[in-house]
Amino acid sequence: MRRDLHCIDLFGYSGKISKVWRSAGYSAEQYDVLRGGRAHDILSKRGFLFLMRLGWKLVQGGAIIGGPPCAMNIFLSSSVHQRQWFGPKGDVSNLRVRMSNLIAQNLATFLRLLTNEGRLFFVVLEQPKSSWFWQLEWIMALGALLACIRINTWMAFFGHDLLKGTSLWGNLPQLSSMHRVLTRADKERFVRRLDSWIVPGHVVDVCFDDFGCFNQFSNVFYNFPDPFGLKHELERSTKERRQAVRKRPRKYYEKNHTGRVHGCKDLAKTADYPVAFARALFRIWVNAFVQTPP
Ligand SMILES: C[S@@+](CC[C@H](N)C(=O)[O-])C[C@H]1O[C@@H](n2cnc3c(N)ncnc32)[C@H](O)[C@@H]1O
């Protein structure tokens, strides 16, 4: 099999990683069940074998960048998964928890098989900060085998709409350069960024319902319709209006009339990597790749 693949964009629904790799002239393949169906399902035999095939195609020093599904690993779903320090596998009588564990297990098996075959690759996995994923025995054993480190960062530094505390785990040299500390000043800066959505070049198509909108940074709920005000729009010069780009803001959360916050249709998009994040990873990888012996 020809080894000509530079990057596997694992669980890469948004395809941001593969786009960045390709735009720099390297080859990349997306692998996500929502993109490729059964052939990209790590839980099915066909999908696992397809992933192995991608693994064999990987060049020496190739990248495997993945954000495994986190829904059954995070703090918000604690009551469902029931993971805890003396039982990180959680409530295995629950099918969703078992499937989530199996994804971790299959992923670890895939990486272990590549390592056993003597393949040299750089892996980076991403999860929200509160994830139990790293405590699963298969991932811990793999971390020791591949000499992986784990660092914390915030997606907001890379242009994400939310602060999104994130853990990165992997054996990519210089991965620690992705580490970010969120100071109070940074947080205020990000809050202001969100509050100043309406700027020349970005006319926001605001269509808030009667309950207003939820500011994801400051956790402030704007309890009045159109918090940015039509006034801003009217004050713009004709030139600014003409140059403006129509862009609908993503609506991740919303408060309903009972005061409870619930996810909106853009909620799943919180998982998308910002392009700057993909580029930062690419820069670190390419440095390591050019120094990898053939
Ligand atoms: C947290 S999202 C990662 C998205 C990534 N950050 C991006 O920018 O594309 C997890 C992804 O895993 C995919 N996924 C879930 N179960 C899977 C499975 N059994 N096999 C392959 N992919 C799966 C989902 O479709 C989802 O897109």
Q: Is 12's C-beta closer than 6 angstroms to any atom of ligand 1?
A: yes
What is the structure's pLDDT at 82? 96
Q: Is 71's C-beta closer than 6 angstroms to any atom of ligand 1?
A: no
What is the structure's pLDDT at 55? 97
Distance 201 CA to ligand 1 centre (A): 32
> What residues have CB less than 8 Å from 73, skipping those under 6 apart?
81, 83, 100, 127, 128, 131, 132, 133
Helix (H, G, I), strand (E, B) or coil at 46: helix
Which tens digit of pLDDT belongs to each residue from 192-221? 776 554 443 333 333 333 333 444 444 333
The CA distance from 141 to 69, in Å, is 20
pLDDT along the chain (294 residues), means of 10: 95 96 97 95 96 97 97 92 96 97 98 96 96 97 97 92 92 95 90 56 35 40 40 49 52 66 71 93 96 85
What is the structure's pLDDT at 76? 86
Helix (H, G, I), strand (E, B) or coil at 200: coil
Fold of 5-181+269-290: Rossmann fold (3.40.50)
What is the structure's pLDDT at 233? 45
Residues carrying CATH 3.40.50.150, the chain: 5-181+269-290
What is the structure's pLDDT at 215? 43
> Nearest C-alpha to atom 20 of ligand 1 is from which residue?
41
Mutate which of 33, 45, 73 for ligand 1? The one with the most ligand atoms within 8 Å of its CB, which is: 33
**Burial state string for 237-276 with b = 16 or more CB within 10 A and e = fewer than 16:** eeeeeeebeeeebebbbbbeeeeeeeeeeeeeebbbbbbe
Q: Is 170's C-beta closer than 6 angstroms to any atom of ligand 1?
A: no
The CA distance from 231 to 20, in Å, is 39
For residue 293, give Cα distances in angstroms to 1, 61, 119: 20, 8, 12
Distance 66 CA to ligand 1 centre (A): 8
> What residues have CB less than 8 Å from 139, skipping those under 6 apart?
104, 108, 133, 169
The CA distance from 256 to 72, in Å, is 25
Cα 28 off chain centre by: 17
Q: Given phi > 0 = left and psi -120 to 50 = alpha, else beta, which region is 67?
A: beta
Q: Is 271's C-beta closer than 6 angstroms to any atom of ligand 1?
A: yes
